[in-house]
Each structure stands twice: as C-alpha cells, then as structure tokens.
Amino acid sequence: MKVDKIIIHEVGPRDGLQVEKTAVPMEEKIRWIDKLIKSGIDIIQLGSFVNPEKMPQMADTDKLFTHYNTAGNKPKQVILSGLALNEKGLDRAMACGVEMICMGVSASDTHSKKNTGMSTSEAVSRIIPMAKKAMESGKRIQVSVQSAFGCGFEGPIPPEKVLSIAKEYLNAGIRNISLADTAGHANPKQVEELFGAIHELDASAELACHFHNTYGLGLANCYAAMKAGVIYFESAFGGLGGCPFTKLPAGNVSTEDLVHSLQRMEIRRDIELNELLEVARQVAAFFNRELPGFILKSGSIVDFRVG
C-alpha cells in the first residue's frame, strides 16, 4: 500500500456537537479547538452555517470564525473549514472569512429532504453554482456525496447514483470530493470499489472519506479508503457525532483512535496524540459521560521513540 499523504480533517466542533442536547458555550469550544490546533491536526471544521433555531449548537459559528480570523488567534498551520448547505449559508461563510467551505448533496432523496428540504437533483443544481462562486472567490472547496454507502430510510444506494453525482462535480471542475457514510452502512469492500470507481472517472480527483461507526466498521473502512488512495480523513474527537436527520444517528470515527491506528503503522507521527486525548477527556468531562472512542479508555500503545 502506497501512502503519499494523509490529511486529518477534525469535524468534532461541527458534526460531533450537532446532535448534543446540552449547549456548549463558545468559550469551551475555543478551549477544545485551541488544543486541536496545538495537536497538529491539518483541518478543523468549526461549525455549520445553518438556521440556529433548528440547530442551536451551531448558533455561534460566525462568531467562532471571527474569533479565529482576529490577529493573534489565527492558526498558521491549520486550515479552518465550515459547512454550508444553501446559498444563505455560503454567503455567511464568505462574509466571515472561512478558508475552506464544505458543501454536500445526499444520494438519498429521503435523507436529502429531511436534511435540506430539497431532493437530490435540486440540491445538486444548487450546490454546483455555489461551489463555483466560492472557487471564483479564491476559496478552497470540498463537495460531498452524503449517504453514499447506504441510507437508514432507503437502504442500499445504487453506486451508479453516487457516481452520477461525482461526475457532475468533476464536470464542473471540482476535484475535492468526499463520500460520506451518513448512516454507517459502509463495508471495506464497498469502500474500495466506490472510491476506485471515482478515480477511474478522474485520476486527479482528491478524495475524502467520512465514516460513522454505527456498526463498528469505521476504522476498517478508513483503512480500505487509504488503500483506495483517499487523502482526506474526517473524524471527530471522542467519536462523537451523527446526523440528526438520519434514522439512526451514531458517532464518527474517533480522531484519537484514527491517529493512533495511523501511528501504529508509522504514519503521521507528527500529530500530538496526547493533545487529542486531552481534548476527548475535556469533552467527556463537560458532557459527564463516557465517549465512544477506544484509546481514551484503553490508553495508547504507540512507541513515540520510533519515527
């Protein structure tokens, strides 16, 4: 297996928190994000530009970006990303200086309507012009296909439907494409085949993966994605998260578990695992419960004298 580069995209402040009932004060989020920055993680998703009445945990997203775009607070080596699902969200993201804007379309019509109020085809017709607008403004863009490996409402999603959306992205000149396992239905064989099929469409595509650990296959799917040439890996501190508009919300792959597994393979030894574990401890203490991540409970067996 050839590994040229692995980029970790921490989505805990967004996906990790969006289903939580207890509101997290902005000061606490900043405390966690500062430690994530210190860890050497590559990209951190601070939040999503959605209706705060529907998702109160994301009500401070604009303020978070304003804070980190203020002189003295802006990280030098870390990219800050945000999620926008419609034109209003994109305008907000651009207004507060988001470096990397993530957008997505669900391959499941049912999930798409519950999540955005749009059908899949309508969402594609709106997301692509949004992505082009952001690219023309010099922003980094990542587009995703959500429910790419299956849907809790509709069951299996035909690969052809996922690939048809990917083709539209590629034809529009968008090369950074994420496949999101929103319902956690993916298996390693499916992961290799679907990512491989996109690379057959365009070998220059920069691929990203986003797995939920609903059925315990998250890390196995990450490894399969790595074998298929995926570069960007999205994960959340402590294994928190889940889409509130899917049938069975479940946590993301845990960032510290992912980094630990990579470091066992002598990959990404530059990331400070102890900083990630400390974030997970603080998050667990805040919510006063045990988190799904494993390394927080078992401890690391990475030998840091190697590498």
At residue 63, the pLDDT reads 97
pLDDT at 151: 87
pLDDT at 306 (0 to 100): 41
Res. 249: pLDDT tops 70: no
pLDDT band at 196 (very low <50, low <70, confident <90, very high): very high
Q: Select the more confidently predicted residue: 2 or 161.
A: 161
Q: How far is 149 from 183, CA to CA, in rounded Å?
A: 8
Going by C-alpha positions, the residue among 118, 85, 89 that lies closest to residue 103 is: 85
Lowest mean pLDDT among 97-111, 153-167, 246-260: 246-260
- Given the structure tokens 């790419």, which residue do they identify? 148
Integer Cα distance of 25 and 251 in angstroms? 21
| Least confident stretch, 81-90, 103-112, 176-185, 245-254 | 245-254
Q: Is the separation of the CB atoms in 154 and 110 below 8 Å?
A: yes
Q: How many residues does the chain have?
A: 307
Report which secondary-structure segment, H or E, holds 145: strand 140-146
- Band (pLDDT 50/70/90 cuts) for residue 128 is very high
Question: Fold for domain 7-298?
Answer: TIM Barrel (3.20.20)
pLDDT cut 90: percent of the chain above it: 79
Task: Determine contact, residues 235/262, Cβ cutoff 8 Å.
Answer: no
Residues forming the active site: 243
CB 101 within 8 A of CB 141: yes
Q: How far apart are CA 147 and CA 184, in angstroms?
A: 8
Task: Report the pLDDT averaged over residues 50-74.
Answer: 92
pLDDT reported for residue 117? 79
| pTM of the shown model | 0.94
Least confident of 118-127, 128-137, 183-192: 118-127
30/46 Cα distance (integer angstroms): 9
Per-residue model confidence (pLDDT) at position 97: 93
Domain spans, the chain:
7-298
User: What is the pLDDT at residue 264?
Assistant: 95
Give the tens place of pLDDT for each residue, 199-223.
999 999 999 999 999 899 999 999 9
* Per-residue confidence (pLDDT) for residue 305, from 0 to 100: 45
- Is residue 54 very low, low, confident or very high in pLDDT (cuts 50, 70, 90)? confident
Per-residue pLDDT at 121 exceeds 50: yes
CB-based contact 198:138 (threshold 8 Å): no
pLDDT at residue 307 in the model: 41
Give dist(CA 9, CA 207) in Å, integer.
12
Chain centroid to CA 185: 16
Q: What is the mean pLDDT of the chain?
A: 92
